Structure 1
Amino acid sequence: MALMTQETVSRPGLRELADGVRAIVDQGLPARRTAWLVADLLRGGALPGPEVLTEEERRGDPERYTSRVLHAEDGFSIVGLVWLPGQETPVHDHIAWCTFGVVQGAEHEILYRLDGDRLVRVGESTNGAGEVSGFAPPGDIHRVRNVSDGTAISIHIYGADVTRAGGSSVRRVYDLPEAEGAEPSRSGR
């Protein structure tokens, strides 16, 4: 069993979430299956509320979305992201599986696939508070944007200790043109 930091214990809902994720990760299942089981855990009531972040952390940064590692251990990390209106990620993929749940606001996600030297949209969805999704590489190229009028907050769980990867789960950023004429699916995942 991993050692809980005082910060993990003191953040509402975080200890229970970390215990639940650990129990899933310890099963040693394939990445995609692990991501879906963690998503089910969040849907089942383990998704913490915005108070998992301090009042100061929930304010965000006017320059860019913020990311705070809330808990990390061998096998997974739990990260809180705060997005002010209009803030977005670059198009990117990940070093490991990811599951996320929106706890406040709404985030719009566009999914892509790489086609040579272009990106092709393959889907998009808007996730509101309480909605959960997950994915695993390959097939994890996306961009996320806060489309709400207020602050959006989401909890992301990555299948790696991101503190060992410089604090981020991003593997690559894609600065490529989008292929013209591609019709995205609006069904989400």
Structure 2
Amino acid sequence: MTTTTIAATTVRLRALVAEIREAVDRGLPPGPTAQLVADLLTPHLGAPDLLLPEHHEGDPDRYRQHVLHAEPDGGFSLVALVWLPGQITPIHDHVAWGVTGVHQGAEYERRYRLVPDGPSARLVATEDVITRQGEASAFAPPGDIHRVHNGGTGTAVSVHVYGADITRLGTSVRRLYRLPADA
């Protein structure tokens, strides 16, 4: 994954950031905050004036991250992820609540549950989800273990909102899982 500097913005994106700021400032627990932000993001997905052309640029070697906004107080950040066909994440979870909304194409996700297996643990697949353009989903740790990929034939672009400043942290990922997992 490559990270660019905070990107130029659009009028629609600035309005979305203001809406998200109001939601986050309500001080709700992580789960309800994430769902509220997902509801705010959904009407903007697919709008041609949400992202600039450079936010649609991919990387042939791995999915690409464009940082769109980082709140000065660290309360949240927005990124656009660009996925070329076949690009995939490792199995991971997150440092904070989050929202994923598909702006173009579709994201394919396999969700996992961590289960004890004697003295160690393993991952059991619990659900396969396809999120299509215009759809958003919310998550809040713990229990947000997943792997995401572009299983389509075209470029996919998604907008992610994280309840942390990933420009300070360097990533939204808390942990990569290298445990045995369902295929």
TM-score range, shorter chain: 0.7 to 0.9
* Distance (whole Å) between structure 1 residues aligned to residue 83 and residue 179 of structure 2: 24
Change (3 A) 1:100 1:50: farther
Q: Are positions 1:115 and 2:115 aligned together?
A: yes
Q: 1:141 aligns with which of 140, 145, 167?
A: 145
For 1:178 and 1:157, locate their aligned partners in 2 and report how far apart those are by CA, in whole Å: 27
C-alpha distance in 1 between matches for 2:54 and 2:36: 31
Report matched runs for 1:56-71 at 5 Å.
Answer: 56-71=54-69
CA distance in 2: counterparts of 1:51 and 1:42, whole angstroms: 14
Query: Which of 110, 129, 136 is matched with 1:132 structurally?
Result: 136
> In 2 relative to 1, CA 87–12 (structure 1 residues): closer, same or farther, beyond 3 Å?
farther
Residues 169 and 114 from structure 1, CA distance in 2 versus in 1: closer, same or farther, beyond 3 angstroms?
A: same
Matched, 1:175 2:183: no
- Whole-Å separation in 1 of the counterparts to 2:88 and 2:64: 10
Contact 2:44–2:50 (CA under 8 A) maintained in structure 1: no
> What is residue 3 of structure 2 aligned with on the other side?
none
Q: How many residues align?
A: 172
Q: Compute the displacement of 1:12 (Å).
A: 4.6
Return the offset for 1:11.
Answer: 2.2
Aligned in 2, Cα 1:29/1:157: closer, same or farther, shift over 3 Å?
Answer: same
- Contact 1:83/1:146, CA 8 A, preserved across alignment: yes
Question: Residues of 2 paired with 1:86 and 1:60: CA distance?
Answer: 12
Give structure 1 regions of 4+ aligned residues with deviation exceeding 2 angstroms. 46-57
Cα RMSD for the two superposed structures: 1.9
Structure 2, unpaired ranges of 5+: 1-5
Q: Which of 160, 168, 175 is the aligned partner of 1:164?
A: 168
Q: Which residues of structure 1 form unaligned runs of 5+?
A: 1-5, 181-189
User: Cα deviations across residues 92-129 of structure 1 (Å, max 9, x unaligned)?
Assistant: 00000011110111111111111132101111111111
TM-score by length of structure 1 reads 0.85
TM value normalised by structure 2: 0.87
Alignment-mate amino acid for residue 138 of structure 2: G
Is contact 1:50-1:58 (8 Å) kept?
A: no
- The CA distance in 2 between the partners of 1:152 and 1:51, in whole Å, is 17
SS in 1 for 2:20: helix
Letter of the 1:171 counterpart? R
| 1:35 aligned residue | 34
